[in-house]
Every structure is written in C-alpha cells, then in structure tokens.
A and B are shown apart, each in its own frame.
Chain A
Amino acid sequence: MSRKSTPARQAVVTVAAWTVGFLIFFPILWIFILSFKTEGDAIRTPLGVLTSGWTFESYHEVQERSNYLLHFWNSVVLSVGSTILALVIAIPAAWAMAFVPGKRTKDLLMWMLSTKMMPAVGVLVPMYLLFRDFGLLDTRIGLVVVLTLINLPIVIWMLYTYFKEIPGEILEAARMDGANLRSEILYILTPMAVPGIASTLLLNIILAWNEAFWTLQLTTSNAAPLTQFIASYSSPEGLFYAKLSAASTMAIAPILILGWFSQKQLVRGLTFGAVK
C-alpha cells in the first residue's frame, strides 16, 4: 500500500517536524536569550524575560572574570588531539576486524561497546588515583588519553561499519599489485573510506568537546576546557543565570558552527550504507 501525499498530510507532517525541532532546540535558544539579559531580568517570568531590555553586560563580565581563550584552546587541543589519536589506533583496528575477522571478532566488538554501558563514575576512584600517581592531574596529555579511551569503542565501531562496505576484492587487487599493508591502508582503504572517516572525526570532535564528566573531575585550571568554564559559573543557588548562559553560549558556539558547516557530511556519514 502506498501512502498518499495529500496537502493536508504534508501540512501535518511539516508542523509536527517543526514542533519537534523547536522543542529540541528550545533550551539552546533560551540560553542564548538569557545571555543577553541582566541577572535581574534573567530570573523573571518567561514573558518578563522576553520583554526586558537587551545587554552585553554578562559577556563583558564573563570575559573579565575568566580566560575564555585558554579554555577554548584547551577544548580544541583535547577534542582534536583525542580524535586524531583515536583514529590512528582505530583505523588499523577496524581494518583488521573488517577484513581479517577471527572467530571472536564479533565478541570483541561487543565487549568494546560494553565498556560504554558502564557508568563512568564506577571507575572514577581508580582513574583519579592513577592520574595522581602519574602526575597527570590537570594536564592536557592525560585528558587526551582519557578522551581517546572513552570514545575509542564508538570510533572503532563506526569505522568498522564503513570498512565493511568496501569490497574486499579491491584490497586484494592492491595486494596483487604489490601493495604492502601500509600502502594498502594508506593509498586504498583510507581514501575510499574518507566520507566515513570524516564523519567519525566530526562526531568524535563533538563528543570530546562536550565531554563533561572526566574533564570536570580531572582538571582544575591549566588543562580545563570550556566545560569547566561553564561549570565555574553554575552555583547551587542559581544566582548567575545570565552569566552562566553567556558562558554556555560562548562554549557551545564554536562546536555549533562546526556542526552547522559539516551537517551534510555528518548526515551522509551517519546514514552511510543504509541505502545502497
């Protein structure tokens, strides 16, 4: 049975889609609006918030009180560094699992994913002690390693799925043509998997950028990324809504812009292989 696309149905679907989209986006929009209010206006009723005056005051204060650029730079180093490190490990790993699977490959994949099912706080104490003993607390290198490790299962899974789509005969042809393992991965597999690798890279940067458990637990100032920057404005009493919103806006803006420009690539990568 084919579904008819009547104007009425289209209208309903359109309205429903926009509603869902708006509901998802609303918190971000509200943060954005609050960031342009004074602290006094920010805690008024929603209507009061919307009708009150607009100001850059919160941004000025946030800028004066903390070093945005340091946090921004830390976020860039942590997300890009951990993503590149994860790809360097994951590409050969996914190659092996996709093209020379063993009896236990499926179990291995499942096991890797299962580490993501555990609450991170479960290993907080041992991790903290390890960091303390190795002198890694509040260092970028330590955080890069942790972010790599926590995202590695997802990166391997994604790459594994993309690599599975590449016909094995092409890699065999490369082997017949005299390519060694390094050339095979470098000249054939990686260029062919570029769309998949690119979306994995983007998604991982976003995940690492937004990661707020380990970054908050293991950093204080030197290696603190933007998540720490936001957190420093949250207070249990909730007195600094406007400044918190300004800090949040400044923290999520870069990744939102990156996501906006790469959305085509992301959508393509995430639905890769779904339709042949």
Chain B
Amino acid sequence: MGQISLSAVTKSFGDVNVIPPLDLQINDGEFVVFVGPSGCGKSTLLRLIAGLEDISSGKILIDGKDATDAAPAERGLAMVFQSYALYPHMSVRKNIAFPLKMAKLSQAEQDRKVENAARILNLSNYLDRRPGQLSGGQRQRVAIGRAIVREPAAFLFDEPLSNLDAALRVTMRQEISELHQTLKTTMVYVTHDQVEAMTMADKIVVLNAGRIEQVGSPLELYRSPRNLFVAGFIGSPKMNFITGAEAKKHNCDTLGVRPEHVEVQADGPWTGVVGLAEHLGSDTFLKVNVPGVGDLTVRVSGEMNLHHGDQVTLGPQSGKLYRFDANGMAL
C-alpha cells in the first residue's frame, strides 16, 4: 500500500507563504513526479509529505490514516536525498542496515535483507567499503538500498540524480524506473529536469510558486497543456510563443507552436532568416528570425542544409497550434 493524499495543505515560513492551499491524490503504485523551476516549492512539498517539515494547515493521509502530526519515521516512507546523505563513518553494509537496526530487527534478518538489497543494486562487492570510497553512482545506489530495505509504503526522491554526470544520470534514471517496475511501490520524485519527468512519470505534477499548475500523464501535459506555464515548461526545446498581430489572426492573445511542429514549407506563412543552425545529425535545430512574428525555434528531423543567413519559409503542422487567452489559459 502506498496511497498519499494531501488536502488543503499549506506551508508558510514566517510571513512567507510557500505553499498556498493544495490538494493532491497519489495512488498506490504510482510513479509521481513533481516538476517545476527552482524555488517553486516542489522540494518543500516532498519534505512536508516526509514529515521533515510541519505543515501550517491542512491534512496528510497515508493509506487512509491521518499522518499530519506523525514523526518522519512513523509514516512508513523512505527518502533518497540529493546529497545521498549517507553516513560517512559507516560501511555500506551498516548504512543499508541502519533503518533495520533502528527497527530492532534481528542480526540474521538484517544480514539477509542487506544482502538481498545489495544483490538487486549490484553492490555486493562493495558492502565493506565506506561511502567515501565509492563513485557517485554507487553512492546513489547505497542511498536507494537504504531506502528499499525498509520496504516502505512509498519512496520519496529529492532530485536524486542532479549530482551525477549526464551519462550516469541516464543510466540511473533507467535503473530507478526498472526498480519501480520490480517493486511496484509508490514513488514520489522531485526534479527540475523535465526530461526526467517525461521519461519516468506515470503522473506529472507541474508546480509553480507553490501552486499546482496541472496534473496529468506526460503525454497529456505535452498534448494539452492547460496554460502558458505548463506549455512552456514541458517539451524541449521550449514551445515558441507568438504574440501580437500574428496571434490575433488566430483569435487569441498568445499563439504557441512546438519547435518539432514547425516545418519548412514552400508556401508557409512565415518567411525569415536563419540566425543559428545546430546540426546534431539526428536533428537540426534552427533559430529563425521572422519579421512580425519574432524568433522561432525549429526542430527538423535529420540533416538539413541550412546555415546562418539563409532565407527559409516555415509553417506549422496542421492542428498543432496552441491558443492562449490574455490570462495565459489555453483556449
């Protein structure tokens, strides 16, 4: 079991209101990602669920039980921190066994569970090392190991991959996703990286200034963003936003089009000059200045022989335009 529900939860630090009233339902076995720019309150929200911070008002239910005032250890949740937060003076074995020791399990039981976790995470050969003797990826695995031995109701991850290099991040991302498929335990994952959010989540919660902007599956958010913020945050490169006369032609205040939905069309409506062309082989990214429209980012599949200064005519794919009103809400 691992059902978490927040109702009318708020958090203030002194006079600063970080989380205005917020409701959220996390279902058993779901992989939920909190995503948003830095300072949007996503880590605070996770720490409220963990019990590391007290909520200012509202209620937190875990598996139907009121956990609002429960101590972190009583909530049956395990957390993996950004800095890994391993105990530097203990061996890997003792690090992983620490929650079991605190739960007063027998030594034999502790050993069995530690060996088991180490096998799942490929740490069997490192059990007697100290955290200082491990690489970043291995430390991350130890932190995950320490979380899984407790067999928690849910895992909480606080930007766990942000200290790893790019290549390792991709590997660890896949490992965490596979772990979720094996354990089928609820996972709540905080990141500012929308690629992590898109690839890992069953459900993405987009946060901005402590408010939930939208909740949905990755593709729901990609296909039908509820407002400008979500439209701009989900998708890479970022969606192009066009205002002014061009938007008025489409009966809206802001017109959005994703870079991958702009094509080079001989009879397209937008003619401009290539400012920058990035050739990645698999894709070509163009930055095109279109008079009256502004700079458009264009993603073209494959190679395209265009360079700085070339003139190009562009148009959106049919049905791939997003329209927003003056308040930034989708029409």
Does A124 touch B at the CB level, under 8 Å? no
Cβ contact within 8 Å between B73 and A179: yes
Q: Complex: how many Å from CA A240 to CA B123? A: 71
Cβ contact within 8 Å between A176 and B83: no
CB distance from B145 to the nearest CB of A (A): 12
Out of B50, B98, B103, name the residue touching A174 (CB < 8 Å).
B98
Cβ contact within 8 Å between A175 and B85: no
- Residue count of chain B within 8 Å CB distance of chain A: 22
Does B232 touch A at the CB level, under 8 Å? no
Out of A167, A175, A177, A194, name the residue touching B83 (CB < 8 Å).
A167
Residues of B within 8 A of A149 (CB): none
- Nearest-neighbor residue (CB-CB) of A172 within chain B: B52
Residue interface bits A87-131, CB-to-B below 8 A is 1, else 0: 000000000000000000000000000000000000000000000
Q: Complex: how many Å from CA A172 to CA B102? A: 14
Residue interface bits B56-99, CB-to-A below 8 A is 1, else 0: 00000000000000011100011101110111110000000011
Does B173 touch A at the CB level, under 8 Å? no
CB distance from A265 to the nearest CB of B (A): 16
- Nearest-neighbor residue (CB-CB) of B149 within chain A: A177
Interface residues of A in 140-177 (CB under 8 A from B): 167, 169-170, 172-177
Does A40 touch B at the CB level, under 8 Å? no
Residues of B within 8 A of A183 (CB): 102
Cβ contact within 8 Å between B81 and A177: no
Cβ contact within 8 Å between B89 and A177: no
- Assuming A169-B83, A191-B89, A192-B88, is B102 touching A176 (CB within 8 A)? no
Interface residues of B in 145-192 (CB under 8 A from A): 146, 150
Residues of B within 8 A of A167 (CB): 83, 85
Out of B52, B89, B103, name the residue touching A176 (CB < 8 Å).
B52
Most chain B beta carbons < 10 A, residue from A172, A179, A183: A172
- Assuming A169-B81, A170-B85, A188-B87, is B52 touching A177 (CB within 8 A)? no
- Nearest-neighbor residue (CB-CB) of B99 within chain A: A177
Does A238 touch B at the CB level, under 8 Å? no
Out of A173, A178, A179, name the residue touching B81 (CB < 8 Å).
A173
Out of A175, A179, A180, name the residue touching B52 (CB < 8 Å).
A175
Residues of A within 8 A of B82 (CB): 169
Residues of B within 8 A of A175 (CB): 52, 71-73
CB distance from B8 to the nearest CB of A (A): 25
CB distance from B154 to the nearest CB of A (A): 12
Cβ contact within 8 Å between A177 and B88: no
Cβ contact within 8 Å between A170 and B71: no
CB distance from A165 to the nearest CB of B (A): 12
Cβ contact within 8 Å between A172 and B81: yes
Cβ contact within 8 Å between B103 and A178: yes
Residues of B within 8 A of A172 (CB): 52, 72, 79, 81, 85
CB distance from B275 to the nearest CB of A (A): 43
Residues of A within 8 A of B99 (CB): 177-178
- Assuming A169-B83, A170-B87, A192-B88, is B98 touching A176 (CB within 8 A)? no
Identify 17 new A-B residue pairs, CB closer than 8 A, beyond the known A167-B85, A175-B73, A176-B52: A167-B83, A169-B83, A170-B85, A170-B88, A172-B79, A174-B98, A175-B52, A177-B78, A177-B99, A177-B146, A178-B99, A178-B102, A178-B150, A180-B73, A192-B87, A192-B89, A194-B89
16 contacts between A and B (CB under 8 A): A167-B85, A169-B81, A169-B82, A169-B83, A170-B85, A173-B79, A173-B146, A176-B72, A176-B73, A179-B98, A183-B102, A191-B89, A192-B87, A192-B88, A192-B89, A194-B89
Chain B residues within 8 Å of A, Cβ to Cβ: 50, 52, 71-73, 77-79, 81-83, 85-89, 98-99, 102-103, 146, 150
The 7 closest A-B pairs by CB, nearest first: A178-B102, A173-B85, A177-B99, A178-B73, A169-B85, A191-B89, A176-B79
